[in-house]
């Protein structure tokens, strides 16, 4: 789905997403990633939600967001609180939603000037 939103100059905007790609600004990614207003982190993030570990979430907390969005793939999947303990212990707000909703929410929060991190999984 194409998204058309005017974001503040110089900040990341998610322009398009499908089940297999996310386009941030003019760069397309075909694997899971973390998007922040000022950077894109393509690391060893899992393609499947079941493979998400405390280590992955710890890397995100080190980026110092005020809120974390977790896009669980093409469908919403609920995570047990124990799987989110790293975010809870870091006292970070978080929302879990399907990846499309996470992309749209990310753009809105960036436009509001929020320091949000979106972990976008591309396969559920």
Burial class (CB in 10 A: 0-12, 13-18, 19+), 30: exposed
Arithmetic mean of pLDDT, 90-107: 96
For 74-87, what is each residue's pLDDT tens digit?
999 988 888 899 99
Could you tell me the strand order of the sheet in which 14-17 lies? Answer: 14-17, 22-24, 27-29
pTM of the model: 0.90
92 Cβ neighbours under 8 A, 6+ residues apart: 61, 65, 66, 67, 68
* Superfamily name with CATH number, domain 14-120: MTH938-like (3.40.1230.10)
Task: Give the confidence band of 48 by pLDDT, cuts at 50, 70, 90.
Answer: confident
Beta strands in 1-124 (DSSP E): 14-17, 22-24, 27-29, 33-36, 39-41, 67-71, 93-97, 116-120
The pLDDT value given to residue 6 = 57
Residue 17 has pLDDT above 70, yes or no: yes
Residue 47 has pLDDT above 90, yes or no: no
Task: Give the confidence band of 3 by pLDDT, cuts at 50, 70, 90.
Answer: low
Q: Distance between CA atoms of 85 and 81, rounded to whole angstroms? A: 6
């Amino acid at each position: 789905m194409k998204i058309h939103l005017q974001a503040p100059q110089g900040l990341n905007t998610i322009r398009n997403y499908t089940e297999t790609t996310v386009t941030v600004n003019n760069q397309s990614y075909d694997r899971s990633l973390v998007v922040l207003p000022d950077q894109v982190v393509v690391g060893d993030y899992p393609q499947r939600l079941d493979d998400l570990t405390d280590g992955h979430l710890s890397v995100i907390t080190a980026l110092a967001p005020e809120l974390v969005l977790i896009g669980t793939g093409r469908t919403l999947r609920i995570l047990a609180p124990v799987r989110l303990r790293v975010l809870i212990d870091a006292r970070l707000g978080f929302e879990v939603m399907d990846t499309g909703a996470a992309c749209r929410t990310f753009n809105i929060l960036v436009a509001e000037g929020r320091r949000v991190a979106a972990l976008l999984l591309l396969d559920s």
